[in-house]
């Protein structure tokens, strides 16, 4: 099992494809990464540090895309989602331009910087924009694939990447990139855990421990496309379980809201429990794992929720 920093996974793949695709341009809101510095060094004329001026950066990106470029803009989650929501809506999405927002800092990533830097509202905000795809990285494989998706889907994409090292998942469904979700354990179970992003690793480990303790198998599904996955196939898959718990390191306007759109046309509503960040402002400043524990999303808390929901076979 290999692990890799998600920023390096993304930007190294972008560097690779940029060698043969001169349309690719990167704009940064004065935010860096090791692999991004390699891009700047190799393609200095195709990298622009726009400074801490995210709204202006989106406008410039829209102009470049309108002239035939494929633009990647990079910044911290709340500053390239909430701060620029109007510009993304009017300048980018309404024009269906090839602008890809690379958002780093999903969930509680910047836990030491308090509420202003937390990525808890971005999925809910971006999902309200028509035509804006939302991709959420959870391992090196899908993170690299997001580059290729952006170059295939030449429209607006919002891509959330972690800034930590994550292991590579072993997947059951070979077409997971096109599906928009990954099946990470056997589906021959009455129970299912659905998650997204880095938290999926904790959920997977917790279900493995639960199975060891109880002998009850649990299917784990990681959703990486939170806007336009293969909805029918995902709904059919979820309908096969008697009990589902979803976990996300966001307010419930993220994964839970996305799943609710599936529930509205299926028979899932009565068997799901959604767990996320309580809807409150977080003014604490500490390491990510400590904050997860405070908010009920650490390994121990997730394992307890799984035990409470799946302890008895129906």
pLDDT digits (tens, 9 = 90+) for 25-70: 999 998 877 778 899 999 999 999 999 999 999 999 999 999 999 9
pLDDT at 314 exceeding the cut of 60: no
CA–CA distance, 239 with 4 (Å, rounded to integer): 34
CA–CA distance, 202 with 45 (Å, rounded to integer): 41
pLDDT on residue 313: 52
Give the orientation angle of helix 6-18 with respect to helix 34-42, to 10 degrees.
20
pLDDT tens track for 162-193: 988 999 999 999 999 999 999 999 888 999 99
CA–CA distance, 238 with 292 (Å, rounded to integer): 27
CATH level 3 topology of 176-310: Rossmann fold (3.40.50)
pLDDT at 1 exceeding the cut of 60: no
Length in residues, the chain:
314
Specify whether the CB–CB gap between 150 and 100 falls below 8 A.
Answer: yes
Residues 6+ apart with CB under 8 A from 187: 172, 219, 237, 240
pLDDT on residue 114: 83
pLDDT on residue 187: 87
CA–CA distance, 163 with 165 (Å, rounded to integer): 7
Provide long-range contacts, Cβ within 8 A and 24+ apart, for 52-58: 52/79, 53/29, 54/29, 54/79, 54/80, 54/83, 54/84, 55/83, 55/84, 55/87, 57/27, 57/29, 57/84, 58/84, 58/87, 58/88, 58/91, 58/92, 58/99
Percentage of the chain with pLDDT > 90? 83
List of E strands, the chain: 3-5, 24-28, 47-49, 70-76, 99-104, 133-136, 157-161, 165-167, 181-183, 191-195, 219-223, 243-247, 272-275
Establish whether domains 3-167 and 176-310 are of one fold. yes
Specify whether the CB–CB gap between 35 and 23 falls below 8 A.
Answer: no
CATH level 3 topology of 3-167: Rossmann fold (3.40.50)
Helices (H), 195-246: 199-214, 231-239
The pair of three-digit structure tokens given for residue 209, joined into one six-digit string: 């421990």
pLDDT tens track for 193-208: 999 999 999 999 999 9
Residue 52: half-sphere exposure toward Cβ, Cα within 13 Å: 3
pLDDT on residue 8: 93
pLDDT on residue 32: 73
Cα torsion 305, 307, 309, 313 to 10°: value is: 170
Domain residue ranges in the chain: 3-167, 176-310
């Amino acid at each position: 099992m290999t692990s890799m920093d998600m920023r390096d996974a993304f930007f190294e793949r972008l560097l690779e494809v940029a060698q043969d695709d001169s349309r690719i341009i990167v704009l940064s809101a004065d935010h860096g990464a090791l692999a991004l510095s390699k891009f700047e060094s190799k393609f200095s004329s195709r990298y622009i540090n726009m400074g801490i001026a995210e709204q202006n950066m989106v406008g410039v990106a829209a102009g470049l895309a309108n002239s035939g470029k494929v633009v990647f803009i990079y910044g911290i989650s709340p500053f390239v989602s909430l701060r620029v929501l109007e510009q993304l809506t009017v300048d980018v999405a309404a024009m269906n331009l090839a602008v890809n927002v690379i958002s780093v800092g999903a969930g509680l990533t910047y836990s030491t910087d308090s509420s202003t830097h937390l990525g808890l509202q971005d999925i809910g905000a971006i999902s309200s924009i028509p035509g804006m795809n939302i991709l959420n990285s959870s391992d090196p494989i899908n993170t690299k694939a997001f580059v290729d998706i952006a170059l295939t889907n030449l429209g607006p994409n919002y891509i959330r990447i972690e800034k930590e090292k994550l292991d590579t998942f072993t997947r059951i469904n070979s077409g997971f990139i096109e599906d928009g979700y990954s099946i990470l354990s056997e589906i021959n179970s009455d129970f299912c855990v659905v998650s997204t992003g880095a938290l999926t690793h904790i959920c997977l480990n917790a279900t493995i421990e639960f199975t060891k303790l109880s002998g009850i198998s649990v299917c784990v599904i990681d959703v990486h496309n939170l806007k336009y996955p293969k909805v029918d196939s995902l709904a059919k898959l979820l309908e096969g379980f008697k009990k589902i718990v979803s976990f996300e390191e966001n307010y419930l306007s993220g994964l839970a809201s996305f799943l609710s759109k599936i529930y509205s046309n299926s028979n899932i509503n009565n068997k799901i429990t959604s767990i996320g960040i309580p809807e409150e402002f977080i003014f604490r400043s500490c390491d990510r794992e400590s904050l997860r524990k405070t908010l009920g999303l650490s390994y121990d808390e997730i394992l307890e929720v799984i035990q409470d929901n799946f302890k008895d076979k129906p």
